[in-house]
Amino acid sequence: MHHEVYVECATCRSGYARLDTYDEEAREILSRKYAQLWAINERTAKLYIDELATKSRPGTMSADLPSSRLRALDGKRLEGDLVLEIPVQSAPVPQWLIDYAMSLRNPVVLRDETGRVYR
């Protein structure tokens, strides 16, 4: 499991984006947001999902940086499921948001820190 992985990003000013976690063994590409999804506005919720689905989608190259070379990740393509990890929710996650996340070309699984997947 690799934390704070830099990946290539054509739309980012620096040319790189930071991914929270890449788990090669579990084949998961994870972003973490500490938000109650039911309580934030629609635009922000979709932004969290879209950011992961576009900047770190499967096939994205890890950046050729010293931190990547130390982990033998430089030049590797990310492979696996996209997971937006959130805290345990104190109210139901809106179904429209779950449906939105799963309808993308690169579907995003919404999962809380205990492992519960929102479907």
Query: What pLDDT score does 64 carry?
Result: 81
Q: In angstroms, rounded to a whole number, what is the distance separating the alpha carbons of residues 62 and 85?
A: 21
8-state DSSP, 64: -
Name the CA dihedral angle for 33, 37, 42, 43, rounded to a multiple of 10 degrees.
-10
Residue 70, sorted as left (phi over 0), alpha (psi -120 to 50) or beta, turns out to be alpha
* Domains of the chain by start residue, with CATH: 2-118 (3.40.1350)
Per-residue pLDDT of the chain (119 residues; tens, 9 = 90+): 888 888 998 888 888 999 999 999 999 999 999 999 999 999 999 999 999 999 999 999 888 877 777 777 777 899 999 999 999 999 999 999 999 999 999 999 999 999 999 99
Question: What whole-number distance in Å separates Cα of residue 58 and Cα of residue 36?
Answer: 26
Q: What are phi and psi of 47, to 5 degrees?
A: -60, -45
d(CA 20, CA 4): 5
Residue 10 has a pLDDT of 82
